[in-house]
Amino acid sequence: MKKLLISVMLVLPAIASAADLKPYVEGQIGYMSVDSINSKAMSGEEDGLIFTNAKIKLDYDNEFSYGAEVGLKDVLPNVRLGASITTVKLDFDSAKLSGTISDGSTTLSGSARVTSADLASVGADLDTRVKLYMLNAYYDFKNSTSFTPFVGVGVGTADIKGANDNEMALSASLGARYAINEHVYLGAKASYININGPDVEGIKCKDVDLYTANIMLGYEF
């Protein structure tokens, strides 16, 4: 699906020209918050680590995200369609461990706070990078002012560093755009993103919830 989304971003200007639609491009910078990530219970061996009824609650620092979107306005009345790419590097903060994790010589056990240094001692590094490839649909509440509120939904994939596979991602957003002139606009958007539970570095996780606040600068052709 990632290749499909990138292809859509590349061909949207041609589609717009052929169908006499209004394309737009925008850059985005945001601030992303990640809910605590909870693993499923694990027992057995995975990637050289031995798990015994182990559960991990992972906490990551809030980080800045960066993205871009291309799309078409008025595909239907008041409806925009867009394809976007967003990337964020997440630094691992700490974890709450129950059960045990061992590499054969060092064992972490009990119910205690575990730092990135603790995990490094058994060969685990949980810093990660997430790339979101999304197809988005927005409804613009047009009015007589330069402000245009909107709501949106999206579907796509999350490419998580260290994960075995890309996972499905769903989003919902609320925001507004302000027209500086006929072509240039500023915008702000708050989004909730749900990522289907990934398998990261042998840790099988439950669904991941992300919250982002974005500022956009765009150009309408």
For the stretch 134-144, pLDDT in tens is: 999 999 999 99
Using pLDDT thresholds of 50, 70 and 90, give the confidence band for residue 210: very high
Determine the average pLDDT of the residues in 167-194. Answer: 97
Q: What is the CA radius of gyration of the chain?
A: 21
Determine the average pLDDT of the residues in 90-100. Answer: 83
Determine the average pLDDT of the residues in 99-127. Answer: 73
Residue 79 burial (C-beta neighbours within 10 Å; 0-12, 13-18, 19+):
middle
Q: With 0.85 as the threshold, say if the pTM is over it.
A: no
Q: Among 7-11, 67-71, 105-109, which range has the highest average pLDDT?
A: 67-71
Question: CA-to-CA distance for 131 and 150, rounded, in angstroms?
Answer: 24
Residue 179 burial (C-beta neighbours within 10 Å; 0-12, 13-18, 19+):
middle
What pLDDT is recorded for position 150?
98
Q: Is the pLDDT of residue 7 over 70?
A: no
Question: CA-to-CA distance for 175 and 188, rounded, in angstroms?
Answer: 5
Q: Which of 6-10, 38-42, 190-194 comes out lowest in average pLDDT?
A: 6-10
Q: Are 11 and 19 in contact (CB under 8 A)?
A: no
What pLDDT is recorded for position 164?
84
Instruction: Choose between 12 and 56: higher pLDDT.
Output: 56
Q: Which of 2-11, 30-39, 52-61, 84-93 comes out lowest in average pLDDT?
A: 2-11
What pLDDT is recorded for position 117?
74
| Mean pLDDT value across the chain | 86
List CB contacts of 52: < 8 A, sequence separation 6 or more. Answer: 43, 99, 100, 101, 102
Would you give the DSSP letter of residue 208? E
